[in-house]
Structure 1
Amino acid sequence: MSTYNYIIKYIIVGDSGVGKSCLLLQFTDKRFYAGRELTIGVEFGTRFISLKDGKQIKLQIWDTAGQESFRSITQSYYRGAAGALLVYDISRRETFEHVSTWLSDVRRHANPNTTIVLVGNKCDLDERRRQVTREEGEKFAKDNDIPLFIETSAKSSENVEEVFSITAEDVYDKIKSGVFSPNETSGIRLGHSQSTIAEETQTSGCC
C-alpha cells in the first residue's frame, strides 16, 4: 500500500472541447490523445505527487462533462471538492465568456473554501488563432477573486504539472492554517501515513 499524507479531491470544469480530459490524461498518464471523444457524465483519474516540503499527496480528479444536458449530473460531483480547475480554450472566445457561469456553479455547489484556478488551455496554438489574451484571463481572475491563473497546453504538456501542483500547495496551505479540516465535506482525507500535520503540531506534556 502506498504511503501518503492526504487525499485531495479535484474537479475540472468548463465547456465541451476545451481540453479538460486531455489535461487529465496528460497529468495522469503523460500522454496526449487528440482523438478523445466528449466526456459523458464524468471521468476519473488519480496520481500521487510530492509537495515542496516532502508531503505525499494522492489526487483524486473528476473530469466533468461540459454539455448543458449533463450539468445537473456533474454538479453533484462538485460537493466536497478541495480544488477546482476552471478551464477555457484560448482559441474559442465563447468558452471564455462562459467561464463566469462555471464559476457560479462551483461557488454554489462546492465547498466555500475550494481553491479555484482559472486555466487557459491550448497555449501551444499559433498566436494568430488566439482569441483570448493572457491579460484578459488575468483580469477575469483578479476581478472575480480567483487567486490563481495559468495558461496550459495539454498537447505539449506546458504548465500541466504546475497547475495541479500549485492547486495542491494552496490546498495544503489551507490545511496547515486550519481553513480546511480533513473530512468528506472538505474534499480532503487523511492518507496512509503516520506523519500528519495534526500529529506534528501536537505538543507533549512538560514532564
Structure 2
Amino acid sequence: MNFEDYQYLFKFVLIGDTGVGKSCFLSQYVKGKFIQEYDPTIGLEFESKSIEFNDGVVVQNQLWDTSGSSQFMAIQKTFCQNAAAAIVFYKINSEASFKSLQNWINILKQVSSDKIQIVIVATNKDLEDQRQVQTSQGRDLADSLEAKFYEISNHDKDQIDGIVNSISYNVLRLINSSKINPLNTQYGVKMSRQQEQQYASQIENTDEKVIQQSPSPKRRGSDIKTEQNMISPNKISASPQRSQQEQEQTQQNQQQEKPKIQLRHILIPIIVAYVLYLIFF
C-alpha cells in the first residue's frame, strides 16, 4: 500500500517509564519483529502503518515512541500534544513503573484534548511468576480514567495489532459521530487532500439542507400590523396632515361666519325698530 494512500492519519503516542516495552510493542506492530535485547530509546522515534476497514476507509496509524527517561521530559510533553490516542505502559513485574503511571497521566491531562483515547497496557504477562502488580490494580486505574485496559505479552503480535486497530476504529467512530472535528489539529487527526475536500463538501451540503428545511416563524397579529406599518409609512404620515388641513379650514370658516353672525345681530333690531317706527308713527 502506498505511504500516502489513506483518508485519515492518526497520531498515537506511546508513553511510560524506560524499559516497559514501548519499543518492542512498536516493532511488533509495524515490523512483526520481537526485540530480544533492550535498547533504550533516545529522544523519540516513530513508525507508521496503514490499515483498511471493511467500509474501505484507509487509516494510517502513526505511532510515536517517546523515551521514558526524565531528561527527555520536555520532548515527551511536546509530542503528547495533539495526539488522538495515548498508550500508557507499565510492567506487571515492576511496581515502580505502575506507580509512575500517575505522572504520565498528569502530563496527558496538561497537554491533550478532552477527546484523547487513553489505553493502559501492562506488559510482560508471560512473566507471571515475577508479578508485582495485580490485574485488579491496573483495571481499577483504567476504570477511573474511563480507559481500556490490557495485559499482554510482547511476543503476541495478534493482540498488539488488535489493540492499535481498536483504538483506530474508536477515533474513526468519533469523527463519524461529529464528536471530533478532523479539521482541528488538536485532536491528532489529519485528512488527505481528497478526503478534506469531500468533508468540506458534506458540511456545506448539510448546512444548505438545514437552511432549506428550517420552518418559517409564525407571525402574530401584532407582528403583521407592525409589518404593514413599516411597508406603508406614507399612509401613516398623510393622515395627520389631512386632519390638520381640515382643522385650519374649519377655523377659517368659523372666522368668516363670525362677522356674518355679528352683522345679523345688529341689523335685525334696526329693521324691527324701523318697522315699528312706520307702524306707530
Structure 2 length as normaliser, TM-score?
0.67
Provide the alpha-carbon RMSD of the alignment. Answer: 2.2
Aligned to 2:170: 170
Q: Which amino acid aligns with 2:179?
A: V
Pair 1:7–1:175, CA change in 2 (3 A): same
Partner of 1:103: 105
Q: After superposition, what is the alpha-carbon deviation per residue over 1:135-171, rounded to whole angstroms, capped at 9, x for unaligned?
A: 221111112332x111222223251111111111111
Q: CA deviation at 1:124?
A: 2.0
* Letter aligned with residue 188 of structure 1: V
Question: Which structure 2 residues correspond to residues 37-116 of structure 1 after superposition, within 5 A?
Answer: 37-116=39-118
What does residue 184 of structure 1 align with? Answer: 185
Mapping for residues 20-31 of structure 1, pairs under 5 Å: 20-31=22-33
Shift of the alpha carbon at 1:129?
1.1
The sequence identity of aligned pairs, in percent, is 28
Alignment match, 1:135: 136
Contact 2:181–2:187 (CA under 8 A) maintained in structure 1: yes
Q: Tell me, yes or no, if the aligned pair for 2:19 and 2:38 is still in contact at 8 Å.
A: no
Deviation of 1:97 (Å): 1.1
Paired position in structure 2 for 1:11: 13
Q: Unaligned stretches of 5+ in structure 1?
A: none
TM-score in terms of structure 1 length? 0.89
Cα distance in 2 for partners of 1:53, 1:151 equals 30
Q: 2:43, 2:72 within 8 Å by CA — same for their partners in 1?
A: yes
SS of the equivalent of 1:75 reads helix
2:143 and 2:166 map into 1 onto residues whose CA distance is 17
More strand by share: 1
The structure that is helix-richer by fraction is 2
4+ residue segments displaced more than 4 Å: 192-197, 199-206
1:194 offset after TM fit, Å? 4.8
Q: Larger RCO: Structure 1 or Structure 2 (Cα < 8 Å, ≥ 6 residues apart)? A: 1
Checking the alignment, whether the CA contact within 8 Å between 2:121 and 2:150 is kept in structure 1 is: yes
3-state SS in 2 of match to 1:159: helix
Aligned length: 204
The gaps in structure 2 that reach 5 residues or longer are 213-281
Look up the SS of the partner of 1:22 in the other structure.
helix
